[in-house]
A and B are shown apart, each in its own frame.
Chain A
Amino acid sequence: MTEVTAAPPATSPGAAVTRGGADAPRVTGRRRSGLRRQRLEILLFVTPALALMAVFVLYPVFSAARMSLYSWQGFGPMDDFVGLANYLRVLRDDVFTDAVMHNFIIVFASIAVQLPLGLALALLLNRRIKGRGLLRTIVFVPYVLAEVIAGVVWFQLLQPRSGILEQALSSVGIPVPEQGFLGTPDLALATVFVVLTWKYLGLAVLLFLAGLQGVPDELHEAAQLDGASWWQVQRRIAVPLLAPTIRTWVFLSMIGSLQLFDMVWILTGGGPANATTTMVTYLISMGTQRSNYGIAGAASVVLFLIGFVMALAYQFLVLRRDTKADA
């Protein structure tokens, strides 16, 4: 902004010389007023967005950070300053450290499973096969479904005994766990992960398909003329050229996994026996359910920091290549 406003005086003398001295002040005046108008317009259009951002993003972040330093039950004055005690409690709480662990398991499992699966599906759906449009839609539908609705559907499918899934499995002789997939602590997180993969695979496929459209046909043709097989074309051309898209998807997946909440809340509520807690379910149960707003605040700041550091690290270490290449 300041650079833009600094520009007119530098150019206006030139204009003054060609058009004659008397005109000069008027031109600059008009330009100035034009600029002022422009600035006013920018202000007009940007202010609502900034105000919303301040009210709904900056203020809550700030208030969570402030809350984390107090012992506060959600009403009355916030005056019991406890320093970093809430952070100590959060970091020493096994439920929270387990929750962090669950988040990271989901982060890495998502990348390890959804990336190859999504890539394979995208490459497959990029070929000219019968019913391609339909198949693409089917893969993408779960992603379009509201998370809560998908969660409730899966919750019912996974009901022990009466759920369709268990009945189907038992009917073909596959043993099902005594307490159901969601009710067995050792299986619950894996089950949640399967549902998440079902839900979010569509996004990976969609992004990869879009990325594949950017791979020029000539390259394919040239490779084929050189006698490359389909596999070789994919491995040597499609996938490498898809790398920026893959890196972006990994970033989105990572952030999504760290903030994981809705699906877990619907399917298990963090149970059984805290087997599926995530950082967000922890802070919700501490905050809104137990009225330990200070502890919830501390947990949310820790979540924020973990997300922030990972996002920055990823930007610097991985995504920098992409942004540099663009520049």
Chain B
Amino acid sequence: MRRSGRTALSVLCGSAVLLTATACGGGEESSAAGGDDNTITWWHNSNNEPGRGFYEQVAADFEAANPGVEVEVEAMAHEDMVDRLAAAFQSGDLPDVYMERGGGELADHVEAGLVTDLSDEVPDTIEKLGGNVSGWQADGQTYALPFSVGVVGFWYNTELFEQAGITEAPETMEDLYAAIEQLKAAGITPLSVGAGDKWPAAHYWYYTALRACGQEVLEDAVTSLDFTDECFVEAGEVLQELLATEPFNPGFLTTPAQEGATSASGLLATDQVAMELAGHWEPGVMQGLTEDGEGLGENTGWFAFPAIEGGAGDPTAQLGGGDAWAVSTGAAEGSVDLVEYLLSDEVQIGFAENDMGLPTNPAATDAVSDPALAQLLEVRDASPYIQLYFDTAFGASIGGAMNDSIALMFADQATPEDIVDATMQAAELEK
């Protein structure tokens, strides 16, 4: 559910230098696609309760409803799953049902013939999920069914806002600058950002681009990889304005996103800063980083990324992303049925009741009990469109180059033009 950052595992793998290709990510062999026709292997990353137990039950229920079919569930930590999936993609020995993050990554997998086209298999479910599936489509075909789609916004500490005398959540960039000033005057660090992991910093630019550029320009850019529209430079200029207010925690250039109390999430969870730009995973992450397991508790507040004056983008459009179930090519019989079942009203309602994410099946909307998640769900469903995180949308290679140059801007070492140039250069090499 979380976005992955630097992990201990990649450290261990990395120290083997030349071995990266073969030695890392291996893990034990599991019966994979095409191995046994009646056994469906299913990898997921809900390795904590209640998610883990819930999915065990889901698998058992599916087995009971489909005699003769066996579901082999493997729950693992998110980072482990990402590494094992990478190895599985290399060897082509994939689990039958697995998670896809959509965008360019999925498009590459589709091109390599690793994913099953679900368009004609489960048309009803696709229709039910509506606009949520757009991030998992390529050439009009749907290759995975999103089970949780969240949006990114500012999580804030309501108590610190009160202390600083801020009564209303910022709606424009001017409001945000004013809030930053007020917080600073009250001796509170306004924002934390895990620029050490780069993508949290990049989210700022994604959002200024989303606010500066119209929907058509963005949709066009994602497919044509052409970023010559002026609005992309404007996005950088707005970001520079924000950076000029020096709102971030000291040492933010090497701050990790989510690991430990000194990470960006940790600083917000422990009242060290007032706000952080993050996705729907944030309450869960903060709960894991505080001793009482509460995170910010009832002081948790959320507001959407502010509007930019004169920006062509819709201020209610949101940046987001999520996870979807995909079926690998040549998967065991019944795998598609399992995915369909995972998106059924029944399973999605259970998923929502356990606060495992933001369900995509409208039938489950009312079942979300966590107030913060319920609020996000409202924002998500009210937004005209959800822009998939650019790095996911463009794929690791272009997205990585983009994130690198945005992180350089945070260090005052890149201009708005540099970000556009770096992205287009990386895109050029992909063509």
Contacts and interface: CB of A to CB of B under 8 A. Distances in A.
A76 B92 CA distance: 7
B413 interface: yes
A287 B90 CA distance: 13
A265 B13 CA distance: 12
B18 A61 contact: yes
B65 interface: no
B397 A290 contact: yes
A160 B196 CA distance: 14
A61 B114 CA distance: 27
Interface residues of B, number: 50
A293 B21 contact: yes
A159 interface: yes
Nearest to B256: A269
A182 B196 CA distance: 10
A304 B6 CA distance: 25
Nearest to A188: B254
A259 B16 CA distance: 10
B52 interface: no
Interface stretch (A33-41, A115-123, A196-204, A272-280): A272-280
Nearest to B270: A162
A77 B111 CA distance: 11
A69 B114 CA distance: 24
A291 interface: yes
Contact of A288 (B10, B395, B413): B10
B422 to A, nearest CB: 11
A64 B251 contact: no
B250 A180 contact: yes
Interface in B391-409: 395-397, 400-401, 404, 407-408
B141 to A, nearest CB: 18
Interface string B6-28: 10101111110111111110000
B21 A182 contact: no
Interface in B13-65: 13-15, 17-24
Of A57, A61, A268, A290, most B-chain CB atoms within 10 Å: A290
A177 B397 CA distance: 34
Given A148-B8, A183-B251, A273-B407, A290 B396 contact: yes
Interface of A: 56-57, 59-61, 63-64, 67, 73-77, 89, 95, 147-148, 156, 159-162, 178-180, 182-183, 185, 188, 259, 261-262, 265-269, 271-274, 280-281, 283-285, 287-293, 296-297, 300, 303-304
Top 3 nearest A-B pairs (CB, nearest first) are A76-B112, A272-B253, A183-B251
Given A180-B251, A183-B253, 15 more contacts: A75-B92, A89-B429, A95-B404, A160-B251, A178-B250, A185-B411, A265-B14, A271-B254, A283-B17, A284-B13, A284-B20, A287-B20, A289-B10, A290-B396, A292-B397
